Structure 1
Amino acid sequence: MAGTGWRFGAYELDLARRELRVEGEPRPLQPQVFAVLAYLVRNRHRVVPKDEILRELWPDAVVTDASLQRAVSLARRAFRPADRGLLRTHARQGYRFVGELAEVDPDPADAAAEAPPKYVRSGDVHIAYRTVGRGPLDIVLVLGWALGMRTALELRGVSDLVRTLSARARVLLFDKRGTGASDRVKALPQLPQRVEDLEAVLDAVRSPGAVLVGFSEGGPLALTFAVTRPIRVRGLALVGAFARMSAAPDHAAGWSDVEVATLRAYIASGWGSGATMRAFVPARHLTPPLRAWAARAEQEGASPGAALELLEMNIGIDVRPLLPRVRTPSVVLHATGDRVVRVGNGRALAAAIPGARLVEPPGEDHAFLFGGRPTLERELVALLERAAARPHAALT
């Protein structure tokens, strides 16, 4: 299979996403500028004449020589000042890229997103799931809210996370019933039924033992599964998660009645525009492409009615009594400025789960998929290593 782009120094040119990244951070480029840069990189073994670039890239459009010069100039400016010599101008001839390249292998997360999902029956409902990679253990990403696995894999933070983890373990994703590619249902289930759905997925792949990663609303499911199916769980990570969503006299960190009513009104009248998915993207990362992704994630994740049912289910969740019963190695990751689930939720989880490690960096990266992703990867790799070294019999 052909590669999906090239790496050179601190840069990666991703053809699939039409994106230039500098040390992993996207560097915005106009489509015309990206096309010129990619063509020069692809033809790096020679000086590419100007008329060839115009003919090959825009055969049916009028693009002036001045426009081409500007595109090359903008491509140079996307590089650091010391690296702008990577694009050379040859007077009266054309342009040439002179960097040392390494081809990027196809991303396993991209392949998983493009492949059709697999299905397993849980009762009379079909649950969709995907697997990426191989390893002695499984790591299950329990996604939050109505986020479907296919749309999640379109997000760079998720695909990079899956790529890192799939080098060490088999990564499993699934769509909770009523969301994504799983069967739509008349009413969304309570946690015991969701536990059965996850168990059906693990049965289908003959899981040898799993580390569960519960993101946000996926946290209570991961927790409940870890307590009620301890023999199957080798580690637990809770990311921007909660044990109880709604506020209570003994749980001030929960959502207030006003916040719940505001969300309920949005779902009823504005669902599909992406507000709930945009909320977990740190403000400085909220680009137009991410706004479009957020809207698509809502539209593909659930219908408005299913989202309302999901909200009502979340309001009723309270797994705090289960926390002292967790017996697996656990880590809680929660950003101090989390705007979706307040940091008091993470602190309460870590305080009540025996031996849990609390990782509490500054910022607002709710799901640790943006600036917090290196921290998340580090903690999950450590948890996998700890789980692999721990005798399985100790779980019984």
Structure 2
Amino acid sequence: MTTSTAQHGGIDIAYEVEGTDSGEPILLIMGLGLSMLFWPDPFRHLLVERGFRVARFDNRDVGGSTHLTGLGRPSPLAFAARRWSGYRLTDMADDAAAVMDTLGWANAHVVGVSLGGMIAQTLAGQHPARVRTLTSISSTPAWHIGRPHPRVLPVLLSVPARNREAAARQLLRIFQAIGSPRYPLDADGIREAAKRSFDQAHDPDGILRQLATIVSAPDRRPLLRRLHLPALIVHGDADPLVRLSGGLATARAIPGAKLVVLPGMGHDLPAALQPVIADEIAALAGQWTPSNG
């Protein structure tokens, strides 16, 4: 595995890449407030086994990438008015493109989960030639579609942890609230990733800046309707954070998109379903040819 840094507009984007140099390029984009450490090792290994060269990265304001502390904390008014000028999803999509540039990839298969799905959708809409295939997991085309279930809000709005042990307990509680009710949670993996992320960069305001970017983003459905590329929408029917209507709306917006609804899946990537998702991604990649890219 190789770890390095890409640059975009003065921002450093930390990334890692694994798999053979001749593998099909695939870019993984993680969700709100989570570093690339939260892409499960077994899932990435499944993609490598299926012939992919896998890159993952830290979005701005998380992990080893630049934290835009100078922007401060978005105000309550910014959230209420859904207007925040710090940065946009298009900027985060361009961060992803910068990773591809650094790797020498003219284009790649792009997979995003939650916020990562929003970024992947934006990248495909703004730079369609850069995206071979699009996979959007547990995501939505607009902030108001598939809003969180009220029962998960108390744990999501809890006070930020002050140390690594508390951070591990807090994130585990969050995943217990939003995870898959039908499948066991990888508690040890979550705790370990949470501790490593806390040691690397603990930045609650960075999460708020990402969240302000989400609620300030325009509806992507007009952009998605113009796409002409193989697309896969994966969503759990038990997702309480981005409810199923978000995945349904995404699939309806993209011409020819394949929708896979996984029973009992919440807002995580259960170990039992990772082979299913990896197989779907590999099958989607098989639909791409240079002539339709």
Which of 54, 59, 63 is equivalent to 1:180? 63
SS of corresponding position for 2:62: coil
Please say if residues 178 and 302 of structure 1, whose CA atoms lie closer than 8 Å, have aligned partners that are also in contact: no
Q: Does 1:126 align with 2:8?
A: no
Change (3 A) 1:265 1:366: closer
Give the deviation of 1:164 after TM superposition: 2.0
Q: Structure 1 residues 288, 277: closer, same or farther in 2, change over 3 A?
A: closer
Out of 161, 167, 171, which is 2:43 matched to? Answer: 161
**What is the DSSP-based 3-state SS (H/G/I as helix, E as strand, rest coil) of the residue aligned with 2:109?**
strand
Q: Distance in 1 between matches of 2:184 and 2:152?
A: 26
Higher relative CO (CA 8 A, sep ≥ 6), structure 1 or 2? 2
Relative to structure 2, which stretch is displaced further, 260-269 or 282-291? 260-269
After superposition, give the CA deviation of every residue in 1:289-347 in whole Å (9 maximum; x if it has no partner): 25623643663565111112222222223322212022110011111111221111111
CA distance in 2, matches of 1:219, 1:335: 14
1:327 aligns with 2:221: no
Q: What's the CA shift string for 1:279-298, capped at 9, x where partnerless?
A: 44334523652562364366
**Structure 2 residue aligned with 1:308, among 208, 214, 221?**
208
Q: Is the 8 A contact 2:89 2:214 kept in 1?
A: no
Q: Secondary structure at the match of 1:231?
A: helix
Query: 1:285 aligned to 2:285?
Result: no
Of residues 184, 190, 200 in structure 1, which corresponds to 2:88? 190
Where does residue 254 of structure 1 map in the other structure? 147
Distance 1:263 1:309, change over 3 A: farther
Which whole-Å deviations, capped at 9, do the CAs of 1:157-188 have from their partners, x for residues lacking one?
x2122112123121110111111111111236
> Could you tell me whether the CA contact under 8 Å between 1:267 and 1:307 is conserved in 2?
no
The 8 Å contact of residues 180 and 270 in structure 2, kept in 1 or not, is answered as no
Contact 2:38 2:193 in 1 (8 A): no
> Structure 1: how far apart are the matches of 2:201 and 2:265?
23
Q: Does 1:347 align with 2:248?
A: yes
Cα deviations across residues 202-249 of structure 1 (Å, max 9, x unaligned)? 11011142011011111111011111111111100111111122x3xx
Alignment of 1:103-142 (within 5 A): 112=1, 117-134=3-20, 135-142=22-29
Distance 1:370 1:136 in 2: 23
Distance 2:53 2:10 in 1: 27
What residue number does 2:258 align with? 357
After superposing on structure 2, the runs of 4+ consecutive aligned residues of structure 1 that deviate more than 3 Å are 258-265, 267-271, 275-281
Shift of 1:370: 2.4
What aligned pairs does 1:206-285 form with structure 2 within 5 A after superposition?
Answer: 206-245=104-143, 247=144, 251=145, 253-255=146-148, 262=154, 265-267=157-159, 272=167, 273-274=170-171, 275-283=173-181, 284-285=183-184
Separation of aligned partners in 2, 1:285 and 1:260 = 18
- Is the partner of 2:272 in helix, strand or coil? coil
Residue of structure 2 equivalent to 1:35: none
SS of corresponding position for 2:45: helix
CA positional deviation for 1:358: 0.6
Give the conservation status (yes or no) of the 8 Å contact 1:222–1:236.
yes
* 188-197 or 262-271, larger mean C-alpha shift: 262-271
For the residue of structure 2 that corresponds to 1:166, the secondary structure is helix
Change (3 A) 1:182 1:269: closer
Q: Note if contact 1:216-1:367 (Cα within 8 Å) is conserved in structure 2.
A: no
Gaps of 5+ in 1: 1-111
Counterpart residue number, 1:103: none
Q: Which has the larger radius of gyration?
A: 1
Percent identity of the aligned residues? Answer: 27
State how far apart, in whole Å, the 1-side matches of 2:102 and 2:190 are.
Answer: 35
| Letter in structure 2 aligned against 1:165 | L
How many aligned residue pairs are there? 267
- The two structures have a TM-score, normalised by structure 2, of 0.81
Give the letter for the 2:203 counterpart.
Answer: S
Change (3 A) 1:309 1:143: same
CA drift at 1:265: 3.4
5+ unaligned residues in a row in structure 2: which ranges? Answer: 72-85
- Aligned-residue CA RMSD (Å): 2.6
Once the two structures are overlaid, the 10-residue window that deviates more, 201-210 or 306-315, is 306-315
Contact 2:15 2:56 in 1 (8 A): yes
